[in-house]
Structure 1
């Protein structure tokens, strides 16, 4: 049994009198999950399997008190069962399950999904850490950055030996996917992706490594073009080369800059009429001040 499954089993056993049953799909209510998406092809494949073999793993639910039951774990099976045309599914009813435990079970179950994309995984891990630490998501992000800074010798904040840091390490050991250091380096940047890249990542159209590379391109039109190429199968190596070339061009001064600089270098102020010379001198002084090139008294 995996560490996650063992952890889930422990959480389920903490509930009062878990009982196996069968419930109508109409009696079930998914938990509010505004960020969750389900990959259509994967869902259809699961629906075909359910048509052939039924729902093999019961859904975990808790009573809402009005004759309905909230799905704590198993929303993907619930949706696939709907697609398969089933009217009822096997469930385990968890009586007396508090909200924190229900959320922990939902997050852990979500992290086991085969179609979970890196962005969703990042958010789910942060939500799990927030739940375990009793903090908001932004506070967790701040804690992780402070831990990394201390680990890298950039600051001495006495964070790494704290109970909070130990809890962070414990959660990542449980998940067994990556260290907290690699999570900070490779996954937290996904939270700051532009909307078009977030959308592509959520749809599974590009890998997260391509999204992080495309994030370097600030000009939307150019980024959109490269995004379409990445969706069409452009390799990460080819994408990096194109981004590198694009950034090099962006860093180079436009041709008109070079022309203006060349003309200024040939400019003979003494040859200009007095009024024109004064006007040019005023503009040059203003430009020098803007660029911080004026001498301090």
Structure 2
């Protein structure tokens, strides 16, 4: 006994009397049986106040209640005959309820141990939720919540029971009960958040939001597949609606890259070509897999489209035209001033280079080079405004110069 340490695991198999057998469910309720020096000293000095409860089981006796007292008595060297006990004729339901009453309200009983007790009463004991709640003195919702913990897939349940992940995340994980793989991914994110404060999911609220987003996406995906089916080309279910304005009828396959019209199933390029032909006044004769246009029809269509685009460009540029030979005498320094004023995030000077990182992107791209700086030759400065044309860029530069001049 002098070698025993508080909290040290008890080797129950080595201490078990030949006359005693353990109930296969009740013995699994506790995470593990450990040495309690306070209980050990009390049994030695004061004796055992409450009897252990057994029931006949063939030629042996099955331990129903008082496992901690029984095994601590064995640590003290007591024999089967010396241990205070009651032997009762009990059916399975009675045995489970007696064991539950013995253990459920112990201060050191954790939530997972409570869940195992409740799950056993409901499944093995076949006791209704309402009666279990009454027997244990708790609400029915309490019983249902604890039961739900035990309904997690075995692999996930083991991760919670090992206490790698706080039990508070179990209820959120149960929202994905129909999707075990998604549950696994969720726990990976939670574990990442536990190990690293800069990534993953770090709070139960964030986990709940994460699950809500997943369920919304699943519902949307199900609705899409139910209404339009999978990809016509590769039959993949990994499809999505286009987010671009004007492409509301377009579906995309994320696996093979195929795009098609959600209603007609036509390849999207085919559908666009057909619509464009109709807009240009052509009568379209459709076949099963192709659109029938003569080479001249296509040439006329391209020319007409080009003319319309040219007219549109001219209308947009009217009133803002810049002379082709326009040149500015304003220095680059003057042009840059309003772009970087109060907009500098970081500036680094390395020899002849100055690197400036801006807070907001002005969308201008400048490139300047003075070929013969000793002779005082002025630099040629090329400017590009985002992805816009040179004409649009010139207009933007012109506006900028007017603001700073």
TM-score for the superposition, normalised by structure 1: 0.53
Looking at structure 1, the residues matched to 194 and 79 of structure 2 have their Cα atoms a distance apart, in angstroms, of 39
Gaps of 5+ in 1: 1-22, 145-164, 282-297
Structure 1 match to 2:43: 54
Q: 1:258 matched to which residue of 2?
A: 242
What secondary structure does 1:192 align onto? coil
Match of 1:109 in 2: 102
**Larger Rg over CA atoms:** 2
Asked if 1:189 is matched to 2:148, the reply is: yes
Matches within 5 A, 1:1-297: 25-33=17-25, 36-40=28-32, 43-46=33-36, 48-54=37-43, 56=48, 57-64=50-57, 66=59, 68-79=60-71, 84=75, 86-88=77-79, 91-100=83-92, 101-125=94-118, 127-128=120-121, 136=126, 140=128, 168=131, 172-176=133-137, 178-184=138-144, 186-217=145-176, 218=179, 219-229=182-192, 238-245=203-210, 247-248=212-213, 251=216, 257-258=241-242, 261=251, 267-270=271-274, 278-279=288-289
Kept in 1, the 8 Å contact 2:53–2:88? The answer is no
Which segments of 5 or more consecutive residues in structure 2 lack a partner in the other structure?
1-14, 222-237, 244-249, 253-258, 261-267, 278-283, 292-405
Runs of 4+ in 1 over 6 A off after TM superposition: 253-256, 274-277
CA RMSD of superposed structures (Å): 4.5
How many angstroms does 1:31 deviate by?
1.6
CA-to-aligned-CA distance 1:48-86 (integer Å, 9 cap, x gap):
3344343744422244463x432121223444556x464
Against the structure 1 CA distance between its residues 229 and 124, is the aligned structure 2 distance closer, same or farther, given a 3 Å change threshold? Answer: same
Q: Structure 1 residue 175: deviation in Å?
A: 2.0
In terms of fraction of residues, the more helix-rich structure is 1
Q: Provide the C-alpha distance between the structure 2 equivalents of 1:238 and 1:87, rounded to a whole number of angstroms.
A: 50
| Further displaced range: 243-252 or 96-105 | 243-252
Q: Secondary structure at the match of 2:242?
A: helix
CA contact (8 A) 1:213 1:240 kept: no
Alpha carbons of 1:35 and 1:195: their partners in 2 closer, same or farther (altered >3 Å)?
farther
SS, match of residue 62 in structure 2: strand
Change (3 A) 1:75 1:246: same
CA distance change for structure 1 residues 231 and 30 in 2, over 3 Å: closer, same or farther?
Answer: farther
Moved more, 87-96 or 187-196: 87-96
- When normalised by structure 2's length, the TM-score is 0.41
Cα deviation for residue 182 of structure 1 reads 4.1
**Contact 1:29-1:69 at 8 Å conserved across structures:** yes
Q: Decide whether aligned partners of structure 1 residues 130 and 24 sit closer, same or farther in structure 2, where only a CA change above 3 A counts.
A: closer
Q: Which one scores higher on RCO, CA 8 angstroms, separation ≥ 6?
A: 1
